[in-house]
Structure 1
Amino acid sequence: MNKRKKWLLAGCIAVTGVTAVLWLKGYFEVKEPIRVLERNPPGMGDKEIQMEFQTEQGRFPVNLKLAERSYREDELETIFEQGRLWLDDVWLGENASSQTVIHDLYFPTEIETLGLAVRWETESYRWVQTDGIITDEAREMAPLDMTVRAVLSYGDKERTVDYPIRIITPEKDEKTVLQESVTKVLEGLQSDQKTEAELILPENIGEMSLTWYDREKNIWPKVFVFGNLCLILVYFCQEERRMQRFKDREDGLRQDYPEIVYRLVLLIGSGMTVRAAWEKIISDYQRWRERTGKNRWGYEEMEMAVREMNYGIPELKAYESFGKRCGTQGYIRLSSLLIQQVKRGARGMNQLLVQEVGEAEVLRRENARKSAEEAGTRLILPMILLMTVVFAVLMIPAFLSMNL
């Protein structure tokens, strides 16, 4: 039994043991009978209670919805007073005073902590609505005096609280007043010069001289944001190209490996040395590349190894570097076999190379299978597009005939 199964079995035993202990505790535990149920305080809501009663015939379950406690008559005045004090603190909302009401009022519909409901009444709902919103009509008529009323209720008991308010127009700063006056002058000039081809702007308003300019369009934020987005996009595009190139290189190396191994074994078996076979393969590849204009990753790495040997790097070191550059297990194993073949320090190398050919053949079949699967995946989108066209050709005439 492995470690994972042991932990699973131990967990099942622990859960079963805890369950058994809890069941035995509940079965043998002596329950004390209850005589009193405690209600929730006013405003806290009802309480759901699950009980059972016992008779000579057995035990029977009962579900009870225990209502919250209601206030006594001698408590109501104190509760209503507490509710009024709470409303005094919150009903103005963001306004500083009831005589300088600028913003909307805050009209709560209940006081949860006290269990009181609140209803709001106003002199005219055209000016102040029941949710505390001040209408545009009231703002246009400002200053406006009126009274709003809060009705606190608990059951059938009610208490009212009146709040006199004065709705005013918010004071405007000098900048806003200046802008509005200039806009008003411009509107008057447009009305006076509506038949003219050009609008002559005023040089002064009252004692204030004006100089007019075209408003500069600040494009630097856009340039900053757009430029950085472009840089990020370029970075990710280059990263994507690099990853794609890396993937293409791996795929190319994997596809070239069976052919390289087969040709090396064939040439070495015919009596050539490893280097001669290597150079023969590269010369054939160079002629093929000149004829087709294409590159193959595996042969490019072999060509680099030939250049290293021509530049004076030892043959064994060149084969070792070739395996490390390719990076895959197959090429590393091939470079190791070639190094042993050159050293002549191990017997049966031809047999090992032949065995490597068999493994390379298996790899070639696996590459062909993967290529077929990827080709099928790439065909999904064209198939969907063709299916869409077919549905359109079939359905559009049908819909047109239905409309007719």
Structure 2
Amino acid sequence: MDKRKKWLLAGCLVVSGVAAAVWLKGYLEVQEPVRVLERNPPGGGDEEIQMELRTELGNFPVNFQLAERSYREEELEAVFERGVQWLDDVWLGENVSAEAVTDNLVFPTRIESLGLDIHWETENYRWIHTDGTLTAEARETAPLDTTVRAVLSYGDSEHIVDYPIRIVMPEKDAKTAFGDAVTEVLDHLQTEQKTASELALPEKIGDVSIRWYGRQNSIWSKIFIFGNICLVLLYFQQEERKFERMKAREEGLRRDYPEIVYRLVLLIGSGMTVRAAWEKVITDYQKWRKRTGENRWGYEEMEMALREMNYGIPELKAYESFGKRCGTQGYIRLSSLLIQQVKRGARGMNSLLAQEVGEAEVLRRENARKSAEEAGTRLILPMILLMTVVFAVLMIPAFLSMNL
């Protein structure tokens, strides 16, 4: 038994033991009959009671709601007073005084701790809603005096409290008041000088001397954001170009590989040494490059390997570096075969080189197939554009003739 199963078995035993102990304790415990149930205080809410009734006829489960205790008549006056005290601290909300009400009032509908319900009435519902919200009409016509009434109730008993209030306009800070004054002065000047070709701006508003300037739109934030976006896009563009160059190099190496293998095997099979065959391939490539002005990745890597040999790097090391730089499995395998050819000579290598030629032929066909598929994909967009032009040529005259 592994450790996890042992832990699982031990846990089951512990849980079963605890459950058995709890059951045994309840079974052996002598229960006293319950004769009194304590109610929740007023406002505490009803309580769900689950009991068992034991009689000579058997045991019966009994479930019922135990209602909270109700206030006695002599308690209600003190409870209403406590409710009014709680309400006095709440109903003004953010307002400092009832003599200067500028914000919405707070009208609670129940005092949970006392079990009291509250109903609100306003003298004019066009000024104050029953939820304590000041209307736009009240704010526009302020200052004005009105009264709100709170009706505290418990069962059939009620207690009424009236709150006289004065709704006023909120005081503006110095900056807001000055801005309103500027707007008022400009409106007045516009009216006075509406026929003039120029608007004379005031040099003083109230006791404040002012000077007017054209607002300069700060573009530093735009330069910062746009510049950083351009840098990020430039970075990704460079990365994309790097990726495209690497992809083009891999594609070029893949296309050049079959041809390089064919030429090397042909020259080596004709009796040339590996280095002589290598130099012959590079010489022919240099003539082709001079004539066409184009480069081919596989031959460029071969030329670099030949340059290393000419600089004194051992031939075997140059072939090994050539395979590592190209990085593909085919080139690594080719460099290995060439190294073995140099070390061992022609014995046993002709078959390996012939096998490599066969694999290169398969790769050449695969390259041709991929090129054909890519060419077909690239032709999809021109075909769609051509079909659009054809549909336009066919349909436009038809629609024109129908309108005629």
Normalised TM-score (structure 1): 0.69
The number of equivalent residue pairs is 378
Structure 2 spans left out of the alignment, 5+ residues: 28-32, 49-62
Q: CA deviation at 1:265?
A: 2.0
Contact 2:118 2:152 in 1 (8 A): yes
Q: In structure 1, give the amino acid aligned to 2:142.
A: A
Matched, 1:233 2:233: yes
Superposed CA deviations along residues 73-102 of structure 1, whole A, max 9, x for unmatched, are: 559999988876666555444434444333
Structure 1 spans left out of the alignment, 5+ residues: 1-6, 49-63
Contact 2:145 2:165 in 1 (8 A): yes
Q: CA deviation at 1:274?
A: 1.8
Q: CA deviation at 1:358?
A: 2.9
Per mean C-alpha deviation after superposition, the further-off stretch among 210-219 and 373-382 is 373-382
Within 5 A, what are the aligned runs for 1:165-184? 165-184=165-184
Superposed CA deviations along residues 300-321 of structure 1, whole A, max 9, x for unmatched, are: 2222222323333332222222
Q: Secondary structure at the match of 1:295?
A: coil
Q: CA deviation at 1:214?
A: 0.9
- 1:186 matched residue in structure 2: 186
- 1:222 matched residue in structure 2: 222
Matched, 1:249 2:249: yes
Q: What is the rounded CA distance, in whole Å, between the counterparts of 1:369 and 1:41 in structure 2?
A: 89
Contact 1:115 1:154 in 2 (8 A): yes
Q: What is the rounded CA distance, in whole Å, between the counterparts of 2:47 and 2:399 in structure 1?
A: 60
Q: Secondary structure at the match of 2:238?
A: helix
Provide the aligned C-alpha RMSD in A: 5.3
Q: What is the rounded CA distance, in whole Å, between the counterparts of 2:385 and 2:80 in structure 1?
A: 72
Within 5 A, what are the aligned runs for 1:309-388? 309-344=309-344, 347-371=347-371
Provide closer, same or farther for how the CA distance between residues 101 and 252 of structure 1 changes in structure 2, counting only shifts above 3 A.
Answer: farther
Q: CA deviation at 1:186?
A: 1.9
Contact 1:128 1:138 in 2 (8 A): yes
Contact 1:45 1:67 in 2 (8 A): no
Contact 1:340 1:346 in 2 (8 A): no
- 1:197 matched residue in structure 2: 197
Q: CA deviation at 1:192?
A: 1.1
Q: CA deviation at 1:223?
A: 1.5
Provide closer, same or farther for how the CA distance between residues 320 and 189 of structure 1 changes in structure 2, counting only shifts above 3 A.
Answer: same
Q: CA deviation at 1:340?
A: 2.0
Q: CA deviation at 1:195?
A: 0.6
Within 5 A, what are the aligned runs for 1:99-138? 99-107=99-107, 120-138=120-138
Provide closer, same or farther for how the CA distance between residues 115 and 340 of structure 1 changes in structure 2, counting only shifts above 3 A.
Answer: farther
Contact 2:105 2:134 in 1 (8 A): yes
Q: What is the rounded CA distance, in whole Å, between the counterparts of 1:299 and 1:212 in structure 2?
A: 74
Superposed CA deviations along residues 194-245 of structure 1, whole A, max 9, x for unmatched, are: 1111111123335543322112222212221221122122212222222232
Q: What is the rounded CA distance, in whole Å, between the counterparts of 1:42 and 1:387 in structure 2?
A: 84
Provide closer, same or farther for how the CA distance between residues 343 and 115 of structure 1 changes in structure 2, counting only shifts above 3 A.
Answer: farther
Q: What is the rounded CA distance, in whole Å, between the counterparts of 1:131 and 1:11 in structure 2?
A: 62
Q: In structure 1, give the amino acid aligned to 2:211.
A: T
Q: In structure 1, give the amino acid aligned to 2:145.
A: D
- 1:139 matched residue in structure 2: 139
- 2:53 matched residue in structure 1: none
Contact 2:41 2:69 in 1 (8 A): no
Q: What is the rounded CA distance, in whole Å, between the counterparts of 2:42 and 2:383 in structure 1?
A: 68
Provide closer, same or farther for how the CA distance between residues 239 and 76 of structure 1 changes in structure 2, counting only shifts above 3 A.
Answer: farther
Q: What is the rounded CA distance, in whole Å, between the counterparts of 2:400 and 2:47 in structure 1?
A: 64
Superposed CA deviations along residues 177-199 of structure 1, whole A, max 9, x for unmatched, are: 22322322222111111111111
Q: CA deviation at 1:285?
A: 3.1
Normalised TM-score (structure 2): 0.69
Q: Secondary structure at the match of 1:307?
A: helix
- 1:276 matched residue in structure 2: 276
Contact 2:45 2:68 in 1 (8 A): no
Q: What is the rounded CA distance, in whole Å, between the counterparts of 2:208 and 2:308 in structure 1?
A: 85
Per mean C-alpha deviation after superposition, the further-off stretch among 113-122 and 199-208 is 113-122
Q: In structure 2, give the amino acid aligned to 1:134.
A: L
Provide closer, same or farther for how the CA distance between residues 361 and 177 of structure 1 changes in structure 2, counting only shifts above 3 A.
Answer: same
Contact 1:118 1:151 in 2 (8 A): yes
Provide closer, same or farther for how the CA distance between residues 222 and 96 of structure 1 changes in structure 2, counting only shifts above 3 A.
Answer: farther
Per mean C-alpha deviation after superposition, the further-off stretch among 92-101 and 114-123 is 114-123
Q: What is the rounded CA distance, in whole Å, between the counterparts of 1:355 and 1:129 in structure 2?
A: 96
Contact 1:42 1:68 in 2 (8 A): no
Within 5 A, what are the aligned runs for 1:60-75? 72=70
Per mean C-alpha deviation after superposition, the further-off stretch among 122-131 and 363-372 is 363-372
Q: What is the rounded CA distance, in whole Å, between the counterparts of 1:378 and 1:42 in structure 2?
A: 83
Superposed CA deviations along residues 18-64 of structure 1, whole A, max 9, x for unmatched, are: 99xx9xxx9xxx9x99x99xx9999999999xxxxxxxxxxxxxxx9
Q: What is the rounded CA distance, in whole Å, between the counterparts of 2:93 and 2:335 in structure 1?
A: 83
Q: Secondary structure at the match of 2:103?
A: coil
Q: What is the rounded CA distance, in whole Å, between the counterparts of 1:401 and 1:113 in structure 2?
A: 85
Provide closer, same or farther for how the CA distance between residues 246 and 91 of structure 1 changes in structure 2, counting only shifts above 3 A.
Answer: farther
Q: Secondary structure at the match of 1:147?
A: strand
Q: What is the rounded CA distance, in whole Å, between the counterparts of 1:346 and 1:78 in structure 2?
A: 119
Matched, 1:302 2:295: no
Per mean C-alpha deviation after superposition, the further-off stretch among 151-160 and 330-339 is 151-160
